[in-house]
Amino acid sequence: MRKILVPTDFSDQAENALKVAAQLARKHKSEIYLLHILEIPLHKVDPLNSYSDLPEAVFFMKLAHQKFEKLKNRVYLKDIVVHETVDFHEIFKGIFHVSRKHEIDLIIMGSNGSSGLTEMLIGSNTEKVVRTSEKPVLVVKKEHTSFKVKDFVFASDFKKESIPSYKKAISFAEMLNAKIHLLMVNTPNKFITTASSNRRMNTFIEASKFSNYTLNIYNDANIEKGIMNFSQSINAQLIGMSTHGRQGISHFFNGSISEDLVNHAKRPVITFKI
């Protein structure tokens, strides 16, 4: 893991993500790319120059760089290579652009979640990034003075299409020296017998040589609750799963379990795009 992207609005939640990024960067000798997005209408910004003649754009650009300087002087960032970027985009599009440009390996974002009508009609910026990102996205809800992961829950339906994202999860678990707890949640609406679940899970794990795992079937009212309740029962430090990146009308009607977890889970959540 060479490059970590941390989008920031200079909030406490964003700094929580940066503190986790700093711990990972220090341990794995990674570089951090700090990104601040100015959501100014694009027609008012000169596309050939990162600065604009618009007075508001110049003001907010200078203000962002001042805040970057204060942030980069934090003790926890000492001796870590930190790059700063200010960009004009919608947030999730800006993150996508910067991720590709700098060949980012991991995105870490802070979030306080969203709820009710805002969640249904708008969704949080973090949620949109989870939905669209090609790179793994680690979402942090609170401050972690010591980000250590011993038990990592990876929830899946264990279909073949999820195997590539599981292999990415394995790489992340090996980097953290964590045990993966593979989890299938059984619900009344999508009931699968234990025998069928075991066959599917055993076929799934044959695709890799990773051995530091457990297999778990958990019954609950719905998948989201099952993942959170199981994770709590073993005191897991991290939840991971695949995301399909649904968009448009399909996303509105079907929803996304990974996005719901990002909003509602108290534990850090990492998603891997299928």
Q: How confident is the model at residue 113 (pLDDT cuts 50, 70, 90)?
A: low
Q: Is 252 exposed, middle or buried (0-12, 13-18, 19+ CB in 10 A)?
A: exposed
Kindly tell me if the per-residue pLDDT of 52 is higher than 60.
no
pTM for the whole structure = 0.87
| 151-273 topology per CATH | Rossmann fold (3.40.50)
Kindly tell me if the per-residue pLDDT of 123 is higher than 70.
no
CB of 2 closer than 8 Å to CB of 30: yes
Higher-confidence residue: 199 or 64? Answer: 199
Chain segment 143-152, per-residue pLDDT in tens: 999 999 999 9
Kindly tell me if the per-residue pLDDT of 55 is higher than 80.
no
pLDDT for 259 equals 79
List where CATH 3.40.50.620 sits in the chain.
3-140, 151-273
CB of 155 closer than 8 Å to CB of 185: yes
Region for residue 254 given its phi and psi (left: phi exceeds 0; alpha: psi -120 to 50; beta: otherwise): alpha
Looking at domain 3-140, its CATH class is alpha beta
Question: 104-124 b/e with 16+ CB inside 10 Å = b?
Answer: bbbbbbbbebbeeeebeeebb
